[in-house]
Chains A and B, each alone.
Chain A
Amino acid sequence: MSTFATLKIRRGGHGEPARWETFEVPFEPGQSVLDGLRWLRVNKDPTLAMRFSCINANACKECMIQLDGETVYACTARLEPREMTLTPLPNKTLIRDLVTEIAPPSERFK
């Protein structure tokens, strides 16, 4: 069994052409996709933009992204030892990489 998860991530800012980047991150059973993304930022590329706050608790609902085309919370989706495709939410305005505008309109800065 592979001991790596391969994260294929759609990157780029608002209005920029999208680019795909692929990273291998160590895999341990039980880990979340967010664990993989946090490892990636610390060890490979701190410029990756993502939202997360409560880290583990499924409380803040900030880490919503798409995994293989399905909307998930990165903190509860399990990391798996295979290629996993991560993309920003398609129905929200893209800010950068995996970050979209998810605050309700009345709670946004404008």
Chain B
Amino acid sequence: MTFEPVAIETDVLVVGAGAAGMYAAIEASRGGARVFLVDRSLIGRGGATVMAQMTVAAALGEEVPDAPRHHYDDTIAAGRGLCDETLAQLLCEDAPACIRELDAWGVGWARKDNHITATTAPGHDRARCVYVDFINTGPAVSKTLRTVMARNKDIRKASDICVIDLVAGSDGEIAGAVGWHVGSGAPVTIAAKATVLATGGLTRLYRRNSASLNMGGDGYALALRAGASLIDMEFVQFFPIGHLAPRLVGMDPIMWDPFRYKLGGRLLNGRMEEFTSRYGSDEDGKYVLPRDLATYAIFKEVEAGRGSPHGGAYLSFEHCSAAALRAAFGPVIDRLAANAIDLTRMPVEVAPIAHYHMGGVVADAQMRTELPGLFAAGEVVGGTSGANRLSGNAITEAVVFGRRAGRSAAAHAKTIARKDLRAAGLRAALDLVGDGNGAAPDLNTAAMIVRLQAIMADEVGPFRTAAKLDRALAGIALLADELGERPPRFAGGKDAGFDLQRLEWFDLRNMLVVARAVTQSALARTESRGAHQREDFSQMLPDWRRHQRVRLAGGVLQLSGAPAEALSS
């Protein structure tokens, strides 16, 4: 079946409607731009933000004296010498203003004595992490930004838009994008004077992960195919205490983090022994262990045959009274009871789970990418967190970078009279998204995604070797051959609405190139640093205090290394 493409024209196109994209849309409209905000899923509901149950770091200094430079020092220390200092500085300096703006918009930060209260997340030198009770931070941020947008007629929103490629204009600048409306199957062209990528990270590449279905690295793939560089792609953060067992429905698998902030808790191996001191950090009932060390400690215990029954570690709050648990988590305790979990009587099992991606699109402090007309915001931006992200910096990064990207994109749009999508790039993208001569819809795309997730989890997890990474590259190549160059025809024949298989074909097209970028970068980095641990190169080496960049040229990923910028004083 064939469609006439729907043509949209706007000042600023924002791709991705989590906190970064929504904040960018709001800020761009404040800068005088008309905005078109699209999401592959539903607006404000499909990204990582809505699942972030934890905290947001910002040096507000309301309870204890604090300043952005202290937040910056902790961010840099967590990054194992590899943070982009310019981006880290922007993150910490702009964080308080964004947190206060969200407060004014009614997000409902937890308060004590009439001021915003903060908790101390691991890696922070003082209480700096704000939150919304009860473990409702991300949903509250999302809802607040949606509400602010609802009052704004200059922001046009569209759910269920799958963007497949960025397109350059006649002057060579990024001039918009081509996609399709999943709800109807119709191709869509979007001409934009500025485009903001706010598509989040890549955790969907892994079997067990803590983010939404649509975090398959779309923005990385869009940027690569448009000619931009990615940085630090080997650094995938694993959250050490993702829920493993017993089966728990209706809760985010990283929900144990806020429990640990408030109540401490004890991490135990399969023999009910505390074990983290063997790996260089004694917890002593407090939650101080950095993420990369905790992940390492749990993996090593499991490897030594001392894991919990499902292959992780136990997390115990049995020392807490029912009253203390209720006071700290209110209705969440009832949701646990519905899953037959009584924390006063039993430990739960936890294990590392793919959580966040430090790498991403190269951007400067104005959130400009290397490509004129293209901006980036949020997790899709690479470099800020170096080799390991500090707890609490993800939502901070979404709102700070989103605000900055929206401002920059609006300013850029003002300098441009009108954008036309260049014919050649437009034709190629429309040809792909149309239903011309695609294969019969007999690929099991759902099973292919499961296979890719298994490869990435088993061979490109937190502990890597050259042999594992080579196997991964071979497996990824096989999947790419199966996928082919063209999407399948619509399975429903005349009915092109919500063809999930076809959507997954476009997802896999992105996921496979991003998986290759991660794996090749990991293979080339012959040292261990932060979230990237090579069992065959176990030392952190001074010479490797360098960023690696990836570009796509003629269908081939090209890797290069660049020295880290000198630490600013």
- Is residue A21 contacting chain B, with contact meaning CB distance below 8 A? no
Chain B positions within 8 Å of A29 at CB level: 247
Interface mask (A34-59 → B, CB under 8 Å = 1, otherwise 0): 00001001110011111111111111
Once the chains are docked, how many angstroms separate the CA of A55 from the CA of B50?
Answer: 12
Q: Is the CB of A62 within 8 A of B46?
A: yes
- Quick one: which of A6-22 are within 8 Å of B by CB? 13-16
Interface mask (B411-455 → A, CB under 8 Å = 1, otherwise 0): 000000000000000000000000000000101111100100000
With A60-B50, A103-B43 given, is the CB distance from A46 to B446 under 8 Å?
A: yes
Chain A positions within 8 Å of B497 at CB level: 13-14, 49, 95-96, 99
Once the chains are docked, how many angstroms separate the CA of A96 from the CA of B496?
Answer: 9
Q: How many residues of A contact B (CB 8 A)?
A: 46
List the one stretch of B249-257, B303-311, B459-467, B540-548 in contact with chain A: B249-257
Chain B positions within 8 Å of A54 at CB level: 46, 50-51, 212-213, 252
Q: Is the CB of A57 within 8 A of B447?
A: no
- Is residue B139 contacting chain A, with contact meaning CB distance below 8 A? yes
Chain A positions within 8 Å of B249 at CB level: 30-32, 56, 58, 75-76, 78
Enumerate 5 A-B pairs (CB-CB under 8 Å) in ascending A order: A54-B51, A57-B252, A60-B41, A108-B183, A109-B159
- Is residue A2 contacting chain B, with contact meaning CB distance below 8 A? no
- Is residue A102 contacting chain B, with contact meaning CB distance below 8 A? yes
Q: Is the CB of A109 within 8 A of B139?
A: no
- Is residue A91 contacting chain B, with contact meaning CB distance below 8 A? no
Chain A positions within 8 Å of B441 at CB level: 47
Interface mask (B338-365 → A, CB under 8 Å = 1, otherwise 0): 0100000000000000000000000000
- Is residue B138 contacting chain A, with contact meaning CB distance below 8 A? yes
- Determine which of A38, A50, A101 lies in contact with B183 in the assembled complex, contact meaning CB atoms within 8 Å: A101
Write the nearest CB–CB distance from A35 to chain B, whole angstroms: 8
Q: Is the CB of A62 within 8 A of B42?
A: yes
Q: Is the CB of A46 within 8 A of B183?
A: no
Residue of A nearest to B157 (CB): A107
Q: Is the CB of A42 within 8 A of B444?
A: yes
Residue of A nearest to B504 (CB): A46
Residue of A nearest to B243 (CB): A56
Q: Is the CB of A59 within 8 A of B252?
A: yes
Additional pairs, 14, CB under 8 Å, beyond known A30-B247, A31-B247, A109-B159: A13-B492, A14-B495, A16-B495, A38-B446, A42-B444, A42-B450, A49-B499, A58-B250, A59-B50, A59-B51, A62-B42, A76-B250, A96-B495, A101-B183
Write the nearest CB–CB distance from B351 to chain A, whole angstroms: 15
Write the nearest CB–CB distance from A7 to chain B, whole angstroms: 16
Q: Is the CB of B212 within 8 A of A103?
A: no
Residue of A nearest to B48 (CB): A54
Q: Is the CB of B250 within 8 A of A56?
A: yes
With A30-B339, A59-B252, A75-B250 given, is the CB distance from A42 to B212 under 8 Å?
A: no
Once the chains are docked, how many angstroms separate the CA of A47 from the CA of B183?
Answer: 15
With A30-B339, A53-B213, A59-B138 given, is the CB distance from A13 to B495 under 8 Å?
A: yes
Chain B positions within 8 Å of A55 at CB level: 212-213
Chain B positions within 8 Å of A62 at CB level: 41-42, 45-46
Once the chains are docked, how many angstroms separate the CA of A44 from the CA of B480?
Answer: 22
Chain A positions within 8 Å of B450 at CB level: 42
Q: Is the CB of B160 within 8 A of A109?
A: yes
Write the nearest CB–CB distance from A11 to chain B, whole angstroms: 10
Interface mask (B150-169 → A, CB under 8 Å = 1, otherwise 0): 10000001111100000000
Once the chains are docked, how many angstroms separate the CA of A75 from the CA of B444?
Answer: 23
- Determine which of A13, A41, A61, A75 lies in contact with B45 in the assembled complex, contact meaning CB atoms within 8 Å: A61
Residue of B nearest to A77 (CB): B249
Interface mask (B134-145 → A, CB under 8 Å = 1, otherwise 0): 000011000000
Q: Is the CB of A50 within 8 A of B45?
A: no
- Is residue B225 contacting chain A, with contact meaning CB distance below 8 A? no
Once the chains are docked, how many angstroms separate the CA of A55 from the CA of B250?
Answer: 9
Interface mask (A73-110 → B, CB under 8 Å = 1, otherwise 0): 10110100000000000000001110101110011111
Q: Is the CB of A52 within 8 A of B213?
A: yes
With A14-B495, A16-B495 given, is the CB distance from A49 to B447 under 8 Å?
A: no
Write the nearest CB–CB distance from B28 to chain A, whole angstroms: 17
Write the nearest CB–CB distance from A43 to chain B, whole angstroms: 7
Q: Is the CB of B213 within 8 A of A56?
A: no
Once the chains are docked, how many angstroms separate the CA of A103 from the CA of B252?
Answer: 23
Q: Is the CB of A106 within 8 A of B157?
A: yes
Q: Is the CB of B160 within 8 A of A103?
A: yes
Q: Is the CB of A53 within 8 A of B46?
A: yes
Once the chains are docked, how many angstroms separate the CA of A46 from the CA of B500?
Answer: 8
Residue of A nearest to B39 (CB): A107
Residue of B nearest to A31 (CB): B247
Q: Is the CB of A47 within 8 A of B495?
A: no
> What 5 pairs across the A-B complex have the smallest Cβ distances?
A30-B247, A13-B495, A109-B158, A76-B250, A57-B252
Chain B positions within 8 Å of A51 at CB level: 498
Q: Is the CB of A59 within 8 A of B139?
A: yes
Chain B positions within 8 Å of A50 at CB level: 500
